[in-house]
Amino acid sequence: MNLILIPIVLPIVSALALLLISERTRYLKELLAAGVSVVTLLAAVNLFLLQPQTFDCRWLGAMNFTLRTDGLSAFVMLAVSLFSAAVAVYSFSFRNKGPAKWFFFSLLMTQGFSSGAVLADNLVAMLFFWEGLLVFLYVFIALSQNTHAARRAAMKAFLINAVTDLCLLAGITITGYIAGTMSMSEISANKLTLDYGWSIFAYVLLLTGAVSKAGAFPFHTWMPDAATDSSAPFMAFIPSSIDKLLGVYFLARASIYLFSLNGYMQLVLMTLGALTIVIAMMMAVVQTDYRRLLTYSTIGQTGYMILGIGTLNPIGIAGGLFHMINHATYKSALFMTSGAVERQAGTSDMSKLGGLFRAMPVTGLCFLVAAAAISGIAPFSGYFSKELIFKGTLETGYPVFAAAVMLGAFLTIASMIKLGHAAFFGASPENLKDAKEAPLSMLLPMLILAGVCVAFGFGGRMPVETFISPALNALGVPAGVMWGFHPDKMYFISVILLLAAVINHMLGLAAAGGKAAAAADHIRFAPGLKGIYDLAERRAFDIYEQAMERLVPAVSRLLFKADRALDWALDTMPTGVAGSLGRASRAFHNGSYPLYLALTLGGVAAYLIILAGQNGGLK
């Protein structure tokens, strides 16, 4: 078998074989999934180290099915394999993930289809794998808990992504028609420009599909529901890592590799990124549930990636790609800590947690490292990717986007301080006195990912030279020296933001009577913000809920009235007219011969008058 097929075929075949295993069989499913993920990871490492690989065949006898590795696709496929292996091992001892057979089946199928979407060079082949992921997204959420809420969250996720995937389908169709080919490498040789309506329309449709997969505003609203109604392993795997990797990967392909963007579209992209940062982080900081806070933070970090790519300059694009892998690493680790806490404490409600660092020191340490990384604290990995994005925004000449980066950083630090204090420090509730550390199978992936947060920090030289620079070269972007610690204004700004967030937490803590979970209530109930937050809690800004509660019922009523009108025009009215004519006809048919003779003579007279009028009158 061609080595490039292993990351696709091995997980899919193994997933199908896993369905033959009884649900009552202990550990066999877990061992199979973990073993396959690790083997696939080794194959992905080999593909990354080798020269670019290609696999070509005829698909359905009419289209080239082409898989190809380059500096970007091999890098993202390696990341997909790494997070799949980490979640497979982590889920070994996690109880509340739904039926184990279906969980690991969905995990392996997602891994295989994700690898296919990344390696596909043909847009139609990419779409095939992309759409397959939609099915397993639904299965993951729907089967994670046997509740109506879980099934409703699964349907919400499915419908939002299905609509945006239809946009992607239309965009791919138009792009292929304009370019005369579905091969991405052939399109990149002669990039499409946004100089006329159809090309602009095609790019906007592709952009919609990409940012929806990444979980950006306004297509993010299914994620907080999934955080509450699914499981921590799912959140660590799909929204935090796989969706981000695929969405940002294709966004970079579309925005840099396939199309040549103009200044107006650059502003659209950067504005979308900035809005996603600010809106999501404003929601994150006021959350009181461990997983919901991390979920809104996940959405906000997507904005950084979009903003970095939207700068269209090498330093910003490098920052966006670097932040993509950084975020997947520390956010997966953070969701794993949430699963460990929930497993040992029985809840993710921050008001019912506290003092867990003493009982769960390894989990607490992993949280601190990952929280420092996502907060952009030097020398951890998140600082260096945010530094690149910040400097990329300054190069565009639009300082408002740099301000969005800083505001997002402040809110991120504030939310992590609040979460860490509420869960791991402070007084321990009586019901948590006997809490213990998580099992080794859950700790090992957390430790590895926390180690990556450290290894990718300290100047970022290794990840930038090994992963980011080859990815930029694959996109045709010149890669200069972008690593190294720089004690410049960005560093001092980060220190100021850290101090401001600490002071903010202390003030909020004092106002909330020492309750860490309520330490952001002064933001939540601040004048001018309280009304906005109230609307947000009532889902006034949720496009799905508004569509389901207002648009769909209104359209349904309109269609009902149209159906009744059509039914009246085609059924009721003709029947009534026929009945009236029938009754009138029966009034004349009474058996009176004089009446029949009078009607006949009247008809003849009328005929003669009409005939005379047509011939110019009687002579």
pLDDT at residue 406 is higher than 90: yes
Alpha-carbon distances of 23 from 29, 30, 45, 100, 502, rounded to whole Å? 8, 11, 32, 7, 48
Give the DSSP H/E element, type plus range, for residue 73.
helix 71-90
Determine how many CB atoms are found less than 10 A away from the CB of residue 464. Answer: 24
Whole-angstrom distance, CA of residue 453 vs CA of residue 417: 18
Which of 265 and 615 is assigned the larger pLDDT? 265
Whole-angstrom distance, CA of residue 401 vs CA of residue 393: 6
Residues pairing with 57 in the sheet: 65
pLDDT at residue 573 is higher than 60: yes
Q: With 0-12 CB in 10 A as exposed, 13-18 as middle and 19+ as buried, what is 577?
A: exposed
- Residue in this structure with the two tokens 């600010």, named with its chain if needed: 278
Cβ–Cβ under 8 Å, residues 291 and 217: no
Whole-angstrom distance, CA of residue 212 vs CA of residue 235: 16
pLDDT band at 420; cut points 50, 70, 90: very high
pLDDT at residue 98 is higher than 90: no
**pLDDT tens digits, 543-567:** 777 776 677 677 777 877 887 888 7
pLDDT at residue 619 is higher than 50: no
pLDDT for position 618: 44
pLDDT at residue 113 is higher than 80: yes
Whole-angstrom distance, CA of residue 385 vs CA of residue 382: 5
pLDDT at residue 617 is higher than 60: no
pLDDT band at 426; cut points 50, 70, 90: confident
Whole-angstrom distance, CA of residue 277 vs CA of residue 131: 27
pLDDT at residue 209 is higher than 80: yes
- Residue in this structure with the two tokens 């929930």, named with its chain if needed: 342
- Which percentage of the chain shows pLDDT scores above 70? 94
Range with lowest mean pLDDT among 139-143, 360-364, 489-493, 540-544: 540-544
Backbone φ, ψ for residue 475 (5° rounding): -85, -5
Whole-angstrom distance, CA of residue 131 vs CA of residue 84: 19
**pLDDT tens digits, 179-202:** 888 889 999 888 888 888 899 999
Alpha-carbon distances of 357 from 83, 423, 436, 476, rounded to whole Å? 25, 8, 10, 47
Per DSSP, helices labelled H in 479-617 are 489-511, 521-524, 530-537, 543-546, 552-567, 573-588, 593-614
pLDDT at residue 408 is higher than 50: yes
**pLDDT tens digits, 308-355:** 999 999 999 999 999 999 999 999 999 999 989 988 888 888 889 888
